[in-house]
Amino acid sequence: MRALILPLVLFLAQPALAQRQSFVPRDEALANTDVLALRDRLRAAVAARDLDGLAAAACPDLSLSDDGPGGPDELRQMLTPSGTNPQSAVDNRWQVLAETLASPGYFDAEGEFWMPYHWRIQLPARIDPTQAFFVNGENVNLRQAPDRSGDILTRVSFEVVLAAGFDPEAEYRAVILSDSTRGYLHRDYLTPMSGARAALVRSPEGIWQLCTFTTGR
């Protein structure tokens, strides 16, 4: 589950009252050799597309979606092409899983290890998570116009921003910073706050397992 670290300032507040916050990712797995070992095994299994290796490391009640049965069998199904599961969709899920496992993570209040790190940020209740993005980069240029030649308004590092419009084909996306500054950020640095996430959980027997993987799509 999410853990509150620093409360986000109210978006679209009066600029004189608002201030921007940076949430620099820190990989807390480095403090736990068992979590590191499992994550390394999972990364290797994904790189090799080893379904047996993934299934062996999964919780019996692995959570994959809100309405599916979950578990290792559903994991195999979602990562195996079929008549109703085209190769393109399967390739995308493998890629999302690889990117999620490559992300730094954190331990929540229950001791579960979640990835990516920015999943721990608690958004104000009035903000729609599907309209919020994490700027996954340091000193990213916020431009006045939606192209590389646009004037640089400021630089953004590991902040949460709001979408000010959505064009899935646009290279630069219109966003609003928490101090109400508007501009354009390159899509490569924008990660949906409602996007993919995964959790590693220690069983009662002391074994760490993959117990959640959600693509966020």
Which of 71, 55, 190 is closest to 131 using CA atoms? 190
Segment 200-206 long-range contacts (CB within 8 Å, at least 24 positions apart): 200/35, 200/38, 200/39, 200/112, 200/113, 201/59, 201/112, 201/113, 202/34, 202/111, 202/112, 203/59
For residue 208, count other CB atoms closer than 10 A to its CB. Answer: 20
Q: What is the pTM of this model?
A: 0.86
Q: What is the pLDDT of residue 99?
A: 95
Instruction: Give the domain ranges of the chain.
Output: 28-119+195-214, 122-192
- The upper half-sphere exposure of residue 210, i.e. CA atoms within 13 Å in the direction of its Cβ, equals 28
- Residue 91 phi/psi, 5-degree rounding, is -60, -40
Burial class (CB in 10 A: 0-12, 13-18, 19+), 108: middle
Put the strands of the sheet holding 182-186 in their side by side order.
152-156, 140-143, 182-186, 172-176, 160-163, 132-135, 190-192
The structure tokens listed for 79 are 């990562």
Q: What is the pLDDT of residue 217?
A: 60
Q: Which helix (H) or strand (E) holds 55?
A: helix 51-56
Residue type, 212: T
CATH level 3 topology of 28-119+195-214: Nuclear Transport Factor 2; Chain: A, (3.10.450)
| Dist CA 187 CA 168 (whole Å) | 9
The structure tokens listed for 103 are 């992300």
Radius of gyration of the chain (CA): 19
Q: Which CATH architecture has domain 122-192?
A: Roll (2.30)
Q: What is the pLDDT of residue 18?
A: 59
Residues of the chain with pLDDT under 50: 2-17
| Pairing assessment for the beta strands 182-186 and 152-156 based on DSSP bridges | unpaired
Q: What is the pLDDT of residue 4?
A: 40
